[in-house]
Amino acid sequence: MSHIFITYSKKDETKLVPSQQWWPTIERNIKSCSALIVIMSPNSNESAWVEREILVAENDRKPIFPLLLAGNAWSRLANVQYADVRGGNDLAPELIDSLSRIVPTYSIFPPPLPDAGKEPLQSRNWLTSTIARVGSLFVRASPILPATVKTESTDEAIFGAFEKLIAPLLKKIDTQSQAIDRVNQHLEKLIAANNERTETSFAKKTEHVTAFMAMPFKGCELLYKALRTIFEDNPYCWEVINAGESFGEPTISRNIKWHMQKAHCFLVEISDGNPNVFYELGLMHGSYEDRPVVLLCRDNVQKKYSDLADVIYIEYPSPDGTKERYDVLVASLRDQFRRDTRLTSIRDTTYKHYLSEALWIELKHHQNVVGPVFEQYRTAEDLLASTVDQILVRCKQLTDRKGAIQDLCYAVQSYYNLK
């Protein structure tokens, strides 16, 4: 429950001695408040109750905002910036902004005061009634509710300070409430759109084969490059992806699932027992049992996962960054995947040929047009189904490269042996 606690002296009020039975409630209200406002005056400076309330707030590290109503500023609060409201001065905008940031615009009802019991309250004056009416923002900070105040001038001065503080806050709360309503309406539209997307296209596999790779974020870059070299070229022409390359969802876990749902098979690097990798492996076994999973492990790592003891691994030599060692890695993986029957069913099924930009740049075929064209066309079949003029409509930056696009289409047709 969020509220502002206001403390000031009761010395100018009728002789009503505060009862000790109220102190637990006062202390509880201070501990649960968002900020403490101290009304500084000569009387409150001498009040033991005000000092006691300030000490509780300081002990709980509550923000303190002093308002100088009469007399001089206190040395007791010399380290805190105060607002001078003597003579009816307006409150500084900075104070209003600070309070509005501290007190939320929701749940702003004050903690209840206990039953007075054997300490009946005397007649309430105009100030008391007014404070009660605006109690949705402030809690009375005195040991008990104020009784009759001696002078009307004191009464009006205190209420004037409250009124100047409350009015701007209420205006800002109203503005913030309207903004929150607009945000909620926008969120409802986003949720509805997301639900619609989830029900229609979220789980669709790609028209070409996609192999999702689960691997640690660091240390497997050369392995990932080698797998792309193998699978994005003939005879596979598959796309190899991992969750760190692109983001189709706003959170990490949902982004991983989004990539998995598009994939036809999974490649999992388990050498170092990375917990994130095993989390993804669990998702694969739990949600996609119909899709092949191939485990990869460095040949110098002793297998120590009992639950995977009966699983056939593909072992690979550790790359050291040299070209010779990388070529050995690619050759070893290529040979083992050729002999592995777990991916045969996918390889023997007719899928579209994925157009790998990295492969075609490495082949040095029309590098100046490969990027823009392959960004628009994911498969060789889709590219060859379009005329050069249709390609130029989607690749407007290549309007002067019609001949190069034509040559690229011929090269794609020949490379993948498509008619």
**What's the chain's average pLDDT?**
78
- pLDDT tens digits for range 193-221: 666 555 444 557 889 999 999 999 888 99
Q: Over range 240-245, report the average pLDDT.
A: 88
Q: Which residue has the higher pLDDT, 180 or 216?
A: 216
Q: Which residue has the higher pLDDT, 50 or 97?
A: 50
Q: Provide the pLDDT for residue 213.
A: 96
Q: Provide the pLDDT for residue 137.
A: 37
Q: Distance between CA atoms of 397 and 406, rounded to whole angstroms? A: 15
Q: Provide the pLDDT for residue 27.
A: 87
- Counting every residue, how long is the chain? 419
Nearest one of 333, 385, 396, 388 to 355, comparing CA atoms: 385
235: cis peptide before it, omega within 30°? yes
Q: Provide the pLDDT for residue 314.
A: 92
- Which range has the top average pLDDT, 99-103, 126-130, 323-327? 323-327
Q: Which residue has the higher pLDDT, 135 or 188?
A: 188
- pLDDT tens digits for range 338-371: 988 888 888 878 899 999 988 888 877 777 899 9
Q: Distance between CA atoms of 96 and 176, rounded to whole angstroms? A: 14
Q: Provide the pLDDT for residue 70.
A: 85
Q: Provide the pLDDT for residue 94.
A: 73
